[in-house]
């Protein structure tokens, strides 16, 4: 069993056999190598090559592995939840990811509505806001208390499968690539690469929901509901409209997620080096990672919003170019620069950061919580069946 194997690997006996100093020295050497692998993320083979060999170490193979009863019992109650990819099915990651994604998007949805409106290049005079709180107050006062939640159901429907693919593929690829790039240790390159590939799958599932959501969030949105929006877009612009911003979304989200995952994993190494279940470290790491990635990729998010909403004022100002629709990242960039200048690329940056910090904190906290809970449950099942 994996749990038993982990216990045997971790605990090399520190007891002496018949007072033999060679065996005692060998045990100490093994313990030093284990500590190196545990705390510095370096494989036992690498640390072993850096640690002076202690006399009698070769005799260690002839010494049985003796595990203390108390330590083994403590280990039973503290399963290594970071070992989940090896002990759980892909569906475990998908379930945890789906719940995390839905909660992330739903809890912060009103702020996302504000962000979409504040990124408008030529907003209606009634939809020009000073800041996030001013926008929320005015939307609720003039359009009703439920207005900031328009499009929430489309987001929930898209976020479930999108985040299920996102987290499951990330965990699998992170483990696989880390074993190839830096065996036995955490690799930032592997984390970044896994995040990029996971983003491809996430955006493929989420992009249509993003289009519907952002069109319903705009001021004076003409759609009665999600189905009405889907039907109108399909009939007037064709099915390609649901993926018009896909390449822009990827151009934004690949660096966003690479920066996000690398920052999160780096902060986890600093705040949670033992990689135990630690809610406060998951929340702080997630919030900071989200804020940094959000600020860096705001210009691309502005272009994505323009491509998704096809803002009528921006289209009318582009009429001399004979374009019925704004299509492609280059066209979006030109439109944003012409209408807003350099400052236009950072419209809504405050709302984006305010949205992303708690969103990523919620996402990672919920995901790690479910991951820990499912791991503990599976550990108990293995223990019961094995006993």
Q: How far is CA 140 from CA 134, 137, 222, 256, 266, in A?
A: 10, 5, 18, 31, 40
Residues 15, 159 within the same domain: no
Cα distance between residue 289 and residue 267, in whole Å: 8
Residues 252 and 326 occupy one common structural domain? yes
Q: Which two tokens stand for residue 42?
A: 């370096």
**Residue 137 pLDDT:** 95
Q: Are residues 16 and 154 in the same domain?
A: no
Mean pLDDT in residue range 356-367: 86
Q: Residues with Cβ < 8 Å from 336, sequence gap 6 or more?
A: 121, 299, 302, 303, 306, 344, 345
Write down the pLDDT at residue 190: 86
pTM equals 0.66
54 and 165 housed in the same domain: no
The domain boundary, picked from 78, 109, 141, lies at 78
pLDDT 10s digits, 329-346: 898 999 999 888 999 999
Q: What's residue 303's pLDDT?
A: 93
Mean pLDDT along residues 300-319: 78
Q: How many domains does the chain divide into?
A: 2
Higher-confidence position of 175 and 213: 213
Residues 253 and 364 in one domain: yes
Q: Is 114 in the same domain as 206?
A: yes
Q: Among 40, 61, 78, where does a domain finish?
A: 78
Query: Is residue 182 a contact partner of residue 166, using CB atoms and an 8 Å limit?
Result: no
Distance CA 84, CA 90 (A): 10
Q: d(Cα 88, Cα 93) in Å, to the nearest integer? A: 8
Same domain assignment for residues 255 and 188: yes
Q: Which of 78, 111, 143 is the last residue of a domain?
A: 78
Query: Domain residues for 191?
Result: 84-386
pLDDT of residue 318: 54
pLDDT confidence of residue 153: 93
* pLDDT over 70 percentage in the chain: 73
Average pLDDT along the chain? 77
Q: Which of 27-36, 187-196, 260-269, 311-320 has the lowest mean pLDDT?
A: 27-36
- Identify which of 65, 85, 71, 96 has the alpha carbon closest to the alpha carbon of residue 2: 85
Sequence-distant (6+) residues with CB within 8 A of 103 are: 362, 363, 366
Model confidence pLDDT, tens digit, residues 209-264:
999 999 999 998 999 999 999 999 999 999 999 999 998 888 888 888 788 888 98
Higher pLDDT, 88 or 113: 113
pLDDT (mean) for 296-308: 92
Same domain? For 41 and 103 the reply is: no
Q: Which of 170-174, 316-320, 369-373 is predicted with the least confidence, judged by mean pLDDT?
A: 316-320
DSSP characters over 157-220: HHHHHHHHHHHHHHHHHHHHHHHHHSTTS--HHHHHHHHHHHHHHHHHHHHHHHHHHHHHHSTT
In this model, does residue 320 exceed pLDDT 60?
no
Q: How confident is the model at residue 285 (pLDDT cuts 50, 70, 90)?
A: very high
Average pLDDT value for residue range 365-384 = 80
Q: Which CB contacts under 8 angstroms, 24+ apart, belong to 44-48?
A: 44/184, 45/184, 46/184
DSSP 68: -
Give me the mean pLDDT over the 41-49 stretch: 36
Looking at the structure, tell me whether residues 132 and 216 fall in a common domain.
yes
The pLDDT, as a whole number, for residue 206 is 93
The whole-number pLDDT of residue 46 equals 32
Paired tokens of 129: 């806001």
Whether the per-residue pLDDT at 15 is higher than 50: the answer is: no
pLDDT at 314: 59
Quote the CA–CA distance of 88 and 193 in Å, as a whole number.
Answer: 22
pLDDT value at residue 9: 39
CB 136 within 8 Å of CB 199? no
Q: What is the CATH number of the domain that holds 293?
A: 1.50.40.10
Residues 297 and 181 in one domain: yes
pLDDT of residue 337: 93
Mean pLDDT of 259-271: 89
Q: Tell me what pLDDT residue 99 has.
A: 87
Q: Are residues 12 and 109 in the same domain?
A: no
Residues 47 and 171 in one domain: no
Q: Between 203 and 71, whose confidence is greater?
A: 203
């Amino acid at each position: 069993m994996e749990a038993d194997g982990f216990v045997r690997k971790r605990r090399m006996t520190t007891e002496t056999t018949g007072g033999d100093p060679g065996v005692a020295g060998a045990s100490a050497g093994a313990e030093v190598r284990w500590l190196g692998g545990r705390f510095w993320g370096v494989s036992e083979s690498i640390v072993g090559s850096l640690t002076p060999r202690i006399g009698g170490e070769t005799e260690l193979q002839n010494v049985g592995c003796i595990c203390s009863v108390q330590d083994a019992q403590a280990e039973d109650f503290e399963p290594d939840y970071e070992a989940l990819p090896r002990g759980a099915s892909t569906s475990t990651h998908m379930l945890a990811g789906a719940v995390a994604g839905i909660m992330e998007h739903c809890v912060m949805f009103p702020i996302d509505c504000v962000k979409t409106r504040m990124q408008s290049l030529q907003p209606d005079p009634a939809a020009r806001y000073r800041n996030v709180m001013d926008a929320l107050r005015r939307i609720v006062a003039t359009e009703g208390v439920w207005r900031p939640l328009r499009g929430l159901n489309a987001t929930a429907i898209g976020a479930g499968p999108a985040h299920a693919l996102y987290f499951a593929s990330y965990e699998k690829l992170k483990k696989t690539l880390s074993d190839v790039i830096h065996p036995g240790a955490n690799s930032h390159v592997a984390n970044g690469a896994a995040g990029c590939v996971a983003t491809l799958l996430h955006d493929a599932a989420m992009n249509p929901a993003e289009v519907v959501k952002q069109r319903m969030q705009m001021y004076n949105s003409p759609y009665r509901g999600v189905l009405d929006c889907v039907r109108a877009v399909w009939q007037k612009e064709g099915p390609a409209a649901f993926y018009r911003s896909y390449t822009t979304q990827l151009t934004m989200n690949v660096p966003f997620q690479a920066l996000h995952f690398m920052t999160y994993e780096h902060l986890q190494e600093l705040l949670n080096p033992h990689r135990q279940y630690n809610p406060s470290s998951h929340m702080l790491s997630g919030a900071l990672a989200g804020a940094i990635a959000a600020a860096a990729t705001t210009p691309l998010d502005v272009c994505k919003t323009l491509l998704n909403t096809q803002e009528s004022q921006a289209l009318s100002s582009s009429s001399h170019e004979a374009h019925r629709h704004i299509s492609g990242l280059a066209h979006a960039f030109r439109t944003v620069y012409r209408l807003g200048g350099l400052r236009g690329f950072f419209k809504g940056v405050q709302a984006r950061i305010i949205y992303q910090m708690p969103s990523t904190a919620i996402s990672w906290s919920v995901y790690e919580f479910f991951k820990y809970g499912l791991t503990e449950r599976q550990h108990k099942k293995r223990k019961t069946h094995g006993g």
